[in-house]
Each structure stands twice: as structure tokens, then as C-alpha cells.
Amino acid sequence: MPDKPYGPYVQNAYIVPDLDAAIDHWVKVMNVGPFFKFPPLEFPTGIYRGQPETIRFNAAIAYSGDLQIELIQAAGPSIFQEAHEAGQNHVHHLCVMANDAEAAIADFEKRGGECIQRFSLEDGSICAYIDMHGADGLIVEIAYMKEEVTQLFAALKQKAAEWDGVTPLVEF
């Protein structure tokens, strides 16, 4: 297998019109939980389609085994809002974790990808979204996460392993 600056795909992300209803569906119908619901997210140093933009959205994550499920409700100009307005309330992107975000972005771009959105977290973590222009319309998220975020993900994975199958939300 060739060397690459990122790991395997670890997340499926879905655009949803109503975050609470989507959590309810995933818990009761898909048997996935518990979800961690973030407070409203806002990234003032975002780039959206090449222009500076504050990226805003609401999100919740849970695990099914090693697979992270992210539910996203758009809350402003972004690729998430584009998808919602187009009625694309389904799998929106897949995510890979990277040790070097810029190298991972360059790797996808050299294969025809285009970075259509990116933002940084206060701790220096980076999320970049690459449109590979395929017929399936899926986007690849490159996530470079600092220790605090990876610790949250590990704790959520543990909560999922211990989940009672009923409780919809977990708090930290």
C-alpha cells in the first residue's frame, strides 16, 4: 500500500434538516448512540469556496464500532447549507484523519480534488473539505485534530461501547 499523509476513512457525515429529529432516528431506528451534541459551532476564520466566511452549523457525533457518525444541520453559508438547500439530506462526506493537513490536502488535490471549505478550531485543529468531482458527489473531509479533540472522540467511542441502547445523548 502506498504511503499517504492520512489514515483510513473513519467517519460518515450526514446533512440533516433537523438535528434533534435525526438524533432520535439514529438512536431509535438505526440503534446508534449515544450522541454528543455540540453547542452551536462557529468558525470565524473559515474559507468557503475561496472566500473568507464564518462557518456556522450544529452537529452531533456518535460511534457505531470504530465508525464515527456525524449529523450536521446547516446554520449559514457553507457546503452544508448548499447540500441542505439542494435537498441532499443524506451522506455528505467521508472523513480521514491526517497528521499533516496541508500534505493531505495536497495529496487529494494532485488527484483532481478541490478544497471547497476549510476552517480551524481554536486549538489549531483543521478541517478541510475536498470535492473530488466524482459522479457520486461525495466530499472528503481531512481532519487534523489536536489531542483534546482526539481525547473527546476516544471518550465518545467508549461511551458507545457501554451504551444502554436507549439514552440518546451523553454529556462531558
The phi, psi pair for 133, rounded to 5°, reads: 55, 35
Q: Is the pLDDT of residue 171 over 70?
A: yes
- Location of C-alpha cell 481525547: 151
Q: Provide the pLDDT for residue 117.
A: 98
Q: Is the pLDDT of residue 1 over 70?
A: no
Query: Are 45 and 122 contacting, i.e. CB atoms less than 8 angstroms apart?
Result: no
Helical spans, DSSP H, in 111-163: 147-161
Put simply, whether the predicted model's pTM sits higher than 0.75 gets the answer: yes
Query: Are 160 and 63 contacting, i.e. CB atoms less than 8 angstroms apart?
Result: yes
Q: What is 6-160's CATH topology?
A: 2,3-Dihydroxybiphenyl 1,2-Dioxygenase; domain 1 (3.10.180)
Calculate the CA 42 to chain-centre distance.
14
What does the pLDDT look like over 13-43, one tens digit per residue? 999 999 999 999 999 999 999 999 999 999 9
Q: Provide the pLDDT for residue 2.
A: 65
Q: Is the pLDDT of residue 135 over 80?
A: no
Structure confidence at residue 54 as a pLDDT band (50, 70, 90): very high
